[in-house]
Amino acid sequence: MTTNHSAAPQLLVRNLRASLDFYEKRLGWKVDFVYEDFYAGVSRGGAVIHLKCAEKTEADRAHRRTHDHLDAFLDTAGVRELHAELVSRGAPASALETRPWQALDFHVVDPDGYILCFSEAAA
């Protein structure tokens, strides 16, 4: 029987260095690798995101933002503490919200417009 151990969404970014700086300084993620100045991986805890320097359409980004479509959902323990930490780092974090599906979460929009949802199941 095969098992998937993890997944890493690949986000297309305009400027790899600027994206790495954001994830490292604002979100507290670790840069795992950089390949030839166009591809990189970042992680925090068990979450992993890959960043690839490539063109994307602004129309797609605008559509996703308008309809609150998430690009990454991060199951988070200690979401209140993480929210306070990211706000103190200057991350553009939304307010904490209790959702009808019994979760407490907040969103961060990265420099390329990707929407990251940090969520914890309500106790």
- Only one residue has tokens 């030839």, namely 36
> What is the residue type of 41?
G
Strands of 97-99's sheet, edge to edge? Answer: 72-75, 115-121, 103-109, 97-99
3 state DSSP class of 86: helix
In whole angstroms, give the CA distance from residue 108 to residue 22.
11
Are the C-beta atoms of residues 47 and 8 closer than 8 Å to each other?
no
- Can you give the pTM of this predicted structure? 0.88
Domains of the chain: 10-121 (3.10.180.10)
**Residues 61-85: tens digit of each pLDDT:** 777 667 677 889 999 999 999 999 9
**Residues 43-60: tens digit of each pLDDT:** 999 899 999 999 877 777
3 state DSSP class of 116: strand
